[in-house]
Amino acid sequence: MATKGKSTFGKSSASMIPWLGLALIILIADQFAKTLILGYYHLGDSTYVTSFFNIVRAHNTGAAFSFLAGETGWQRWFFTGIGVVAAFFIIYMLRSHAGQKLFSFAMACILGGAIGNVVDRLLHSYVVDFLDFHWRGMHFAAFNLADAAITIGAISLILDELLRVRRGK
């Protein structure tokens, strides 16, 4: 039987609440920004911001760097499935390791970003990208806040592991 503050598995679920809150904030910010882009920009529209940054409206039916974007549509469900499986795995990891701050921060960033892109795939069949960085005529692949959160989470995971290895020596 569960006791106050404890789940049926005996681990505290309250400590993962802040991390789920962070993931929710990332999801809301991502979806809000994408809603603005969809409302004010047509596909391909661009606004010059600085010599190295534009706001654009791009649709990505693939994954990072438009991987598999040219396929026939099966990739929508493939990447949606990966995102859903990843979300459940991350929630499990947060539940098991909520006390590890950097690790949990990384997981929350990845969770919020993954769900943000899954929502796009389910609603639109593509991911809305709008951040366009460029330098000397070369453009980095357009991306969004969800992608940025996933990247920050991945960097944080690497840092967490490097610090863990260093503490072990």
Q: How far apart are CA 31 and CA 78, in angstroms?
A: 21
CA-to-CA separations, 75 to 6, 13, 85, 115, 148, in angstroms, rounded: 39, 34, 15, 16, 21
Distance of CA 79 to the CA centre of its chain: 13
Task: Give me the catalytic one of 30, 120, 129, 160.
Answer: 129
Helix (H) or strand (E) holding 9: none
β strands within 24-148, DSSP E: 46-50, 53-60, 127-135, 138-139
Query: Catalytic: 129?
Result: yes
DSSP string, 59-91: EESSSGGGTTTTS-SHHHHHHHHHHHHHHHHHH
Of the candidates 23, 19, 49, the residue with the CA atom closest to the CA atom of residue 119: 23
Catalytic pick among 30, 120, 147, 160 = 147
* Residues annotated as catalytic (active site), given as ranges: 129, 147
